[in-house]
Structure 1
């Protein structure tokens, strides 16, 4: 398959990842967690079971796209440094595995709250929190992937020179956001606006893959 075609497919996959990831978090899971209290979260899930199941399906689609993208980016960037490209692929695949494992917490919520009876609200809220922490652990691995990818892109010669720097900043955002979520929750809110950097960088990367990458080898 020509490298240009691989890049376009990679761009399409990146768009799928961005759309599925944001929709699952903001449109589907967000309203379920909005009440804050355990009782409120359980009530929200019982009132709108489609939101929980939709979030699960969107995350599955994102994970599948992430696995495919990891392989394609390895093929496209290995000419720069095969060991670094391989390491980047492994970190992205590890991220997908961790996020997939964290989805079992949401599957458990579905089984207990929507298919079972008499489940405690605290247990449901706790499982939702376990999923969120698992997602953040996956993002730490993704930060490693993003940093390595930025290094590869900086030396590839086929992306705008500012993009690798923005992706490097994105890696820092993901690490800081995830670490504060796990170790210092009281500071996490301060990091949230910085995720805008990640959205801009990853969207730009997707568009470059789709339309602008000057791919010579893959």
Structure 2
């Protein structure tokens, strides 16, 4: 297998791991533990479902690990096609990973407080979950930002369909805007959700393309068989 294909497929596999851990941790486990507006219920959930709460912390740590590895492999994949944009993927993605790491620390603290109460444990636990959720909310800024250089790399390299590149850029801008709309217009959740749709489409398209196709054939024709990436001359015009 060509080195470029191996790099692309490993990137896709890591990206898929990021998507799965994110869905399980933030979309599945968190809602089962956090009761908005009811601190007592949140505390009871953590005490009654300690294993689930700890699994939630572990999944957020896995999100950090898969995010860090994904950005590293995206940089490896695109570094010769567009060095600046590849660096942007790495930088913005790592900031997002640090945001999730902070959220994991808050969730771990919430579990500790629930099991060994300090003061008003219900209020403390609720605040910790609220801060964790808002870290994810403000972290949408960098989640959107990392998709924009990813789209630029797709367009510059020509290794993948150009519509994918534009969808990633549009999705990144939409996700970036969703963070501001979510806080400026808190009742406009429908608009926030709509703004994130292009990003979701672009991400799953990218994951599927990396895993199934890797890169287009012309990129392999112009890349040395032992090189991890092709030169900028591989751009499709």
> TM-score scaled to structure 2, two decimals?
0.84
Q: CA separation in 1, counterparts of 2:113 and 2:190?
A: 30
Which stretch shows the higher mean deviation, 166-175 or 122-131?
166-175
Distance between the aligned counterparts of 2:43 and 2:37, measured in 1? Answer: 10
Distance 2:77 2:25 in 1: 29
Deviation per residue, 1:143-166 (Å, 9 max, x gap): 111111111111111111211122
Counterpart CA distance in 1 for 2:166 and 2:57 is 33
Structure 1 CA distance, aligned partners of 2:23 and 2:108? Answer: 19
Q: After superposition, where does 1:78-89 map in structure 2 within 5 Å?
A: 78-89=79-90
In the alignment, is residue 162 of structure 1 matched against residue 163 of structure 2?
yes
- Residue ranges of structure 2 left out of the alignment (5+ in a row): 224-228, 230-237
Equivalenced residues, count = 218
SS at match of 1:185: coil
Structure with the greater alpha carbon radius of gyration: 2
Q: Where does residue 17 of structure 2 map in the other structure?
A: 16
Aligned-residue Cα RMSD (Å) equals 2.0
| Shift in CA distance, 183/99, structure 1 to aligned 2, threshold 3 Å | farther
Once the two structures are TM-superposed, the CA of residue 183 in structure 1 deviates from its matched residue by: 4.2
1:192 counterpart residue number: 193
Q: 2:226: which partner in 1?
A: none
Q: CA deviation at 1:20?
A: 0.6
Deviation, 1:208, is 0.7
Tell me the distance in 1 between the aligned counterparts of 2:130 and 2:100.
13
In structure 1, runs of 5+ residues without a counterpart are: none
- Residue matched to 2:57: 56
1:91-117: CA deviations, max 9, x gaps? 111111121122111011011012446
User: Could you say which residue in structure 2 is the equivalent of 1:113?
Assistant: 114
Which structure shows the bigger proportion of residues in helix conformation?
Answer: 1
Alignment of 1:35-50 (within 5 A): 36-50=37-51
